[in-house]
Amino acid sequence: MSVFPKISLRPEVENYLKEGFMNKEIVTALGKQEAERKFETLLKHLSHPPSFTTVRVNTHLASVQHVKNLLLDELQKQFNGLSVPILQHPDLQDVLLIPVIGPRVGGCVEDETEEVGRGRKNIKKQQCEAIVGAQCGNAVLRGAHVYAPGIVSASKFMKAGDVISVYSDIKGKCKKGAKEFDGTKVFLGNGISELSRKEIFSGLPELKYVIRGMGIRMTEPVYLSPSFDNVLPRYLFLQNLPSALVTHVLNPQPGEKILDLCAAPGGKTTHIAALMHDQGEVIALDKIFNKVEKIKQNALLLGLNSIRAFCFDGTKAVKLDMVEDTEGDPPFLPESFDRILLDAPCSGMGQRPNMACTWSLKEVASYQPLQRKLFTAAVQLLKPEGVLVYSTCTITLAENEEQVAWALTKFPCLQLQPQEPQIGGEGMRGAGLSCEQLKQLQRFDPSAVPLPDTDMDSLREARREDMLRLANKDSIGFFIAKFVKCKST
């Protein structure tokens, strides 16, 4: 059930995406009308959250069953006694799935209709309102509370303890500190204000420490998802399903030397180390110092000692002179790594929920050249018979299938490989890849299934296999390709 408008894009960007999703190969296969319908459905689904919250268990420190039991207790507290099921993914044994309940109101932008869903509590909109930024709003739809920096506007007389209706300013038009806002806004649910309007917006030096804290504690969100703010931090890592799949596709083995070329914030890095039983060497690179520090913090928190993180530009990671490297710091000699993960910087057009993207076409298109530089470095650093996995969290043809076609032409030493587990759909037509090659890719298409309308009644009646099928299909937009490097001749 679509309750939000489709993702808001600049016309040039929407046209660019449409050209990709209605290319000649797709239109020939599906017909123009069906291709256009699928594209419009995709834009609607991008503004809604996936139907499951996915967490990865840190199996280095605890068993999946132990963590699942702890999490069941936590959800009982968060959901006031509601018994929400937790599913262990059959193909990704360290992944737990928690169904998202909602949407819990009817209507869309500024629609005052508040119909009661099957067995759902009606969410009554309040006179006292708070407006949050689009990114903060996206996080709220996935279970987050509202922290003070995310609040853009609040009603004139808002006090701590008030029941507040929270809205997202999806187009970024609300002025900071405004007392009311009549522009385009999307209802996210109700919460309890932890601060007064004065405390949020006064900006006085003695209040600076306050305005960094919790602003609104969400009590009746439109989509009910668990909050993972400091919940079992040593045992759980909040991760989208395809992101957790990538490391299983890489299939790291104990004792190997593995490179995570664009590693921050370290979810996949720590997953690699855990799957290797912390035996071997995992090198993590990222250009931004603070993000590298976050990787180190995560490794320490999760008890993983095989990770070494460096602040370094992955495009310059190949050591050009062949002098033997004794320190083990970047740059590295060619053919140094058994496996390489290139989870490339991308336009992020597959992230959900995302109600608005303000990027220009130039910004969206800027990632393909960078990805190719990183890919070139990865091929040079990979040992013969080594495995390279390329992934993005975007939906564009240019950053996904076109990159695969380019790589296979540019590097004859690479062979495309089938992936295990195979959970996503096959690749998208339009880049000149064969049917067999498309089947070896994994593309997660958010428009693959209708938007679910989930309440407790439907959860009780749902079959486990149907829920798992939905979790696999209704995820973020994502892409994975796996290559092996042939032996030197």
The DSSP symbol for 211 reads: G
Residue 203: predicted pLDDT = 65
Say whether pLDDT at 443 is over 70.
yes
The catalytic position among 262, 393, 435, 486 is: 393
Q: What per-residue confidence (pLDDT) applies to 229?
A: 87
Token representation of residue 174 = 């609300």
Neighbours of 140 (CB within 10 A): 26
Least confident of 322-326, 357-361, 380-384, 484-488: 322-326
Q: Is 311 a catalytic residue?
A: no
Kindly report, residue by residue over 402-412, the tens digit of the pLDDT.
999 999 999 99
Global confidence as pTM: 0.94
Mean pLDDT, the chain, rounded, equals: 93
Helix 267-275, helix 289-301: angle, nearest 10: 40
Q: What percent of the chain has pLDDT over 90?
A: 88
pLDDT above 90 for 175: yes
CB atoms within 10 A of CB 87: 16
The C-alpha atoms of residue 44 and residue 347 are separated, in whole angstroms, by 18
**Alpha-carbon distances of 338 from 257, 326, 404, rounded to whole Å:** 6, 18, 20
Could you tell me how many residues make up the chain? 489
